[in-house]
Amino acid sequence: MMLDELIQGGWLKTPRIIEAFRKVKRVDFLPEGTKDLAELNEALPIGFGQTISQPLVVAFMLELLEPQEGEKILDVGSGSGWTSALLGEIVGEKGKVFAVELVPELKEFGKKNAAKYGFVDRGVVEFVCADGSKGYEKEAPYDKILASAAVYPHTKFGVGVRELPKAWKQQLKVGGRIVTPIENSIWLFVKKSEKKFQEKEYPGFAFVPLVEK
């Protein structure tokens, strides 16, 4: 089983995250034609040039994010809704996840998938069709921000500059964490003060680019 492999490989360590993986099944977030591939530890297409991330990568990013019960989390590029639902299971009834997706069809796809677990009806996960590079100011500030698509230096954030969207930095609480791909690395940013961030790079990954307006 994929879950057992992730635990044995040291990718999943935190009991609450492991329990979320156990309850929220990846198969429920795949298009009809790929459901039989749910146990494969690789990214799979969900249409519109986007993918559902490799389980190993999702596990690694959630462990870095350190989501906690009761937190408010922004999930940028929510796609299939899998990460949003995992986060919804972790934050619980006292928490809230805002899942932002630019592609309208994917926003509806993710919402429909997460609804299978009651997260939408209970108001634990809210899906928003918007440009995730701008964050979601209406509900800021956030305890944590997760992005599942990569920021690349050629984007509008700056030519040749590895830079987070300013909105994410501004909409994060002091003490909060951002986990995001930049090019082919996963980066962790911890907000130490209003202007100071601690950063750490974890290279060797691959992601689809963040879709912007």
Question: In whole angstroms, what is the distance from residue 56 CA to residue 11 CA?
Answer: 7
Name the residue among 103, 95, 53, 49 with its Cα closest to residue 71: 95
DSSP calls for 113-134: HHHTTTTTTTTSEEEEES-GGG
Question: In whole angstroms, what is the distance from residue 128 CA to residue 176 CA?
Answer: 22
Cis-peptide into 45, omega within 30 deg: no
Cis-peptide into 181, omega within 30 deg: no
Q: How would you class 171 by CB atoms within 10 Å of its CB: exposed for 0-12, middle for 13-18, buried for 19 or more?
A: buried
Q: Is the CB of residue 210 less than 8 Å from the CB of residue 133?
A: yes
At 100 the three-state DSSP class reads strand
| Token pair 């964050």: residue | 135
Q: Is the CB of residue 69 less than 8 Å from the CB of residue 95?
A: yes
Catalytic residue at 185?
A: no
Active site residues: 53
